[in-house]
Structure 1
C-alpha cells in the first residue's frame, strides 16, 4: 500500500479536540474503541507503553494526551498507516516511536526491550469469519491474519515483570483471550462493554499482569449509551463515557470506584 496523500485524508478531532487525527477517506477509520482502550490504562508519568498494531496512532496519542511524559512506541504492519502515525505524532506535538513490522517478525531492537504496558486492539474477526473488505487497510484491520493467541504471547514477551496488558476485543473472543493468557499472564480482570441497559456486552477490555497472582475478576458491564433503545438522533453516551470520549477522562474501572 502506497503512502496516503493529503487528498486521501480527513482530519478529525478526538477527546474534544485535544487530539487531531489524520485518517484515510477510504480505509480503516478509528471509532471509539481505541479511545476506550487508551482510557483503560492506568499508567504513571515516565512509563513505557507499546501498542501492537497501532494503525494511525489513535490509541497512543489519546493515552499521551491524558498522561504526560510517557515513552510511546507502536508497531504497525502496513507502511501507509505507520507513516500516518508518524504524521499524526507531529501534528499533535507528541513523540511516538513507530516500527513498521509484522508482529511475528519484530525488529531485533524491539525484541530486546520490555515495557510497563502493552496495549492492543487486534482484528475482531477470525480468518474467514466475515466478508472481506475491498480496501486493504480495512481488510487487515478487521480480519485476523495473526492468531489472537500470538498477539497475547508477543505482548507477554514484551512486558516487563509486573507489567500490564490491556486489550479490547469482541465479547465472543473472550474464551480465546483467556486461554492465551494461561501460563503467560495473571491477575486477569475483564470489563464488559454493553451498548445499552438490558443489552448483552458486545466488547470486552481485558487487563492482565505479567507475574500477577490475584484471582480472576469479571466486572459488571459498563453501559455506553443511556436508555434501553436508540430513540433520537445524535449522541446518547452516558456521562461517564462522554467524559472519556470528549474530555479525556480515564475509563471508570469498577475496581477504581
Structure 2
C-alpha cells in the first residue's frame, strides 16, 4: 500500500475495520471516506470476489486509492465527492456492506492538525449522525453497516445507529491488559430485529506497558494484522 510521505497515514484502525466485515464472494462493499483505500482493499484481499467501491473527497487520496487497487490487482470504483452530497452515480447504488472510519475528533473540543490533509482525515466537519445516515442509505436491506470510532464518541454513535439500524453489535478494542478501551467497532443491520449484543473485547497487545519498538501484539491481533485473518465478533 502506498501512502503520502506527510499528512494523514493509515494505521491499524482501517485494517481492523476491514477484518470485521463478514463478507462473502460476490457481495459488495462501500468504504465511506476511503482515503488511500486501506480498509476496502484489505477486505478485498481477504475476500476474493468482493465488489469494492469507495467515496473520498480529497482528489489526491482518491487517485492514490485507485493506484493502490491497481498495484494490488484489485478492482475498486473510487468516487470523488463529499459525504453529504454524494455523486449521482453513487446515489444510484446500494451495497451489502458499508464501512467507515470517520474523523475521530470534534474540533469544538480539540486543536486542528497543521497538515491540511491530516486535518481533513482527523478533524470532524460532517456530524457523526450524517455519516451514519448516509451509510444506512447506501446499505441494502438486511445489509450491514460497520464503523470504527473512539470509545468516547460511543453514546452519539449508538444513538445514530439505533435511529436507522437494528441488530446492533459492539466490540471494544482493548489496547493493553488493564487499560480502558480507546476504540470500538460498531455494527448494525438494516432492518435487523435482534437484541443488542456486547461482545468480549479484542486485546491488541500482550504487555501492560509499551516496551520499546518491539512488536508485542497478541496472537489474535497478530493473525488479523499480519496474516489477513478475519476479526470474528463471536469470540
TM-score, normalised via structure 2 length: 0.98
Q: Please identify, of 227-236 and 121-130, the stretch whose mean Cα deviation from structure 2 is larger.
A: 227-236
Poorly superposed stretches of 4+, deviation over 3 Å: none
Q: How does 1:66-81 map to 2 (within 5 A)?
A: 66-81=46-61
1:42-62 deviation line (CA, Å, top 9, x unaligned): 001000100100000001111
1:116 counterpart residue number: 96
Give the CA deviation at 1:133: 1.1
- SS of aligned partner of 1:24: coil
Q: Give the 3-state SS of the residue equivalent to 1:169 in structure 2.
A: strand
- For residue 167 of structure 1, give the secondary structure of its aligned residue in structure 2: strand
Q: 2:189 maps to which residue?
A: 209
Give 1:2-151 correspondences, 5 Å limit: 21-151=1-131
The structure 2 residue matched to 1:169, chosen from 130, 149, 153, is: 149
Residue number in structure 2 paired with 1:15: none
Instruction: State the number of aligned residues.
Output: 235
**Aligned equivalents of 1:68 and 1:224: distance in 2?**
26
Superposed displacement of residue 228, structure 1: 1.8
Pick from 151, 166, 170 the counterpart of residue 186 of structure 1: 166
Q: 1:229 aligns with which of 183, 204, 209?
A: 209
Residue 13 of structure 1 aligns with which residue?
A: none
* Cα distance in 1, alignment partners of residues 101 and 197 from structure 2: 21
Deviation at 1:232, TM superposition (A): 4.3
Distance in 1 between residues matched to 2:119 and 2:108, nearest whole Å: 11
Tell whether 2:180 aligns with 1:200: yes
Note the alpha carbon deviations across 1:93-142, whole angstroms, 9 max, x for none.
11010000000111112112110000000000013322211111100000
Any unmatched runs of 5+ in structure 2? none
Aligned to 2:136, what secondary structure does the other structure show?
Answer: helix
In structure 1, C-alpha distance between the alignment counterparts of 2:149 and 2:22, rounded to whole Å: 19
Say what the alpha-carbon RMSD is for the aligned residues: 1.0
CA distance in structure 2 between the aligned counterparts of 1:183 and 1:196, rounded to whole angstroms = 33
2:96 alignment partner, SS class: strand
Residue segments in structure 1 that go unaligned for 5+ positions in a row = 1-20
Partner of 1:248: 228
Greater mean alpha carbon deviation, residues 138-147 or residues 223-232: 223-232
The CA deviation at 1:177 is: 0.7
